[in-house]
Amino acid sequence: MTSGLLLTFFTLLLLVVFALLASALSNDPGFVMVVWHDHQILTSVGFALLICLLIAVALIVIFVVLSTILFGSNYYYQRRKALTRRKTLMSLDVSIRNRLVNNYPESFASMEEALTKNSLNLRPFNKKKGSALHLLQADVARLAGLYPAAMEHLTHIDSDDHELATLVRAQVCIDSGDLAQAQNMLDLLLVYPERGIMEPVRESLQPHFDLQVGRLWTRLACLQPWKMLSSHLLPQPKSIDWQAWLQALAAQELPVDAEDRIKRLQLMMPAEVQAEHASCLFALLARAGATFAAQDLAQRVLMERLETTLLDQWMTFCLVKSAELPASSVETVLQSLEQRYPAQPDVVLARVRWTRHAQAGLEGQDDTLVLDRDAPLLEQLSPYTQHALVQRYLLVWKLQRADLDDALRTALLERLNGSH
């Protein structure tokens, strides 16, 4: 009803304007002169206005007719749409196939061809394209090593996808070597949940979003392992690859404050995670000089279960640090293991190693092989001579004999090296 009243009002207003114009022209028709080269046209103002109006109406009619034929016709529209869709799908097919064989540069080029040049609706960097497609193109550009192109796509993300864009930015920074900026991006993602902020898109992608944050954090931790121990923002413990991080820590030189940092690492790791990766963590603690922390970890784990790698590491550690460690604590662990695993070769070997060392200390000797002293102990290992670790230590002890000739020593060394 409102539109009808407005139409009536403007129609009446137009009629009034035409009436006033006609009255003015009837009193003073005026004239219009058009001169072009040797031609001259002289006419009244009213007739000139009528000619202009007719020309405008004719142009409008021609434009409407041409638009209807070329674009408005359903046949031509569907034909053009089908052609564009076919080009788009063909380019997407090329993109997908190249991505599956890790040819990311060609995949990105084909994706840009499909989503930017061929499509009717997906124009470059506009709202119709959608954030998700920009995220996809940014990720493929990252995999192709086209980091500026990836960042360009990430500037056209809707606010709903802000955290996903931050996640991709962190990946781009890690891949391009900008580790400081990558840590800033990850800290930004980690601080949101602590403030009680959870975007709908991130919430809908749980728990995979947090797992991906943990994986990226682990990648960064493996690239700068000791530095990450000073970070106060951590992802969920279950999303961190602790094994990879511990191996990266072990592969680098120890900093000056390694003992303090390792103790901080223990505080960061839940007890069950420490038990799961006890062998790697114990090696780090022992290497950093955290004697009592290493001893406490090994005893806690070995009192709960038998882990052969940790048992061997711990016994070597105890033999080296025997002057600092109370013998009663070592005996407690060994007795517990012997009660639970009475015929386990690794447990028997640990007992033999500890007893040999204790006897040698009482006699004021070193740990070289003394046949009379060690014969009863070696007899305990005779049922387990096929066990790889037992074989290795038997060879080591033979090499410790002072009466070996060079040929035999060389042969034993070759066997020892071949047993690794």
* 37 is a domain residue: yes
In a domain, 28, yes or no: yes
Token pair belonging to 184: 């800033």
Give the model's pLDDT for residue 298. 92
Residue 405 pLDDT class (50, 70, 90 cuts): low
- Output 318 or 415, whichever has higher pLDDT: 318
**Number of independent structural domains in the chain:** 1
Query: Would residue 25 count as lying in a domain?
Result: yes
For the stretch 139-169, pLDDT in tens is 889 999 999 999 998 888 888 888 889 999 9
Give the mean pLDDT of 212-224: 92
| Sign of the alpha-carbon torsion through 175, 177, 179, 180 | negative
pLDDT of residue 120: 47
Please state the pTM of the whole predicted model.
Answer: 0.68
Residues of the domain holding 42: 2-74
Element (H, E) at 35: strand 32-36
Q: Count the Cβ atoms, other than its own, within 10 Å of residue 42.
A: 9
Name all contacts of 205-213 with Cβ < 8 Å and 24+ positions apart: 205/164, 209/163, 209/167, 210/235, 210/236, 210/239, 211/239, 212/167, 213/167, 213/186, 213/189, 213/239
Which has more pLDDT, 68 or 78? 68
Contact partners, residue 218, CB within 8 Å, separation at least 6: 240, 241, 244, 245
Residue 7, domain member (yes or no):
yes
Q: 107 with 93: CB under 8 angstroms?
A: no
| 41 falls within a domain | yes
Task: Establish if 139 belongs to a structural domain.
Answer: no
| Residue 40, H or E segment | strand 39-43
Q: Which ranges constitute the DSSP H helices of 199-302?
A: 200-204, 208-223, 242-251, 258-268, 271-276, 278-288, 291-302
Which helix (H) or strand (E) covers residue 48, if one does? Answer: helix 45-67
Whether 345 contacts 390, CB under 8 Å: yes
Q: What is the DSSP letter of 159?
A: G
3-class SS at 307?
Answer: coil
Residue 59 belongs to a domain = yes
The pLDDT tens digits of the residues spanning 89-105 come to 777 778 878 877 778 88
In a domain, 146, yes or no: no
pLDDT score recorded for residue 411: 67
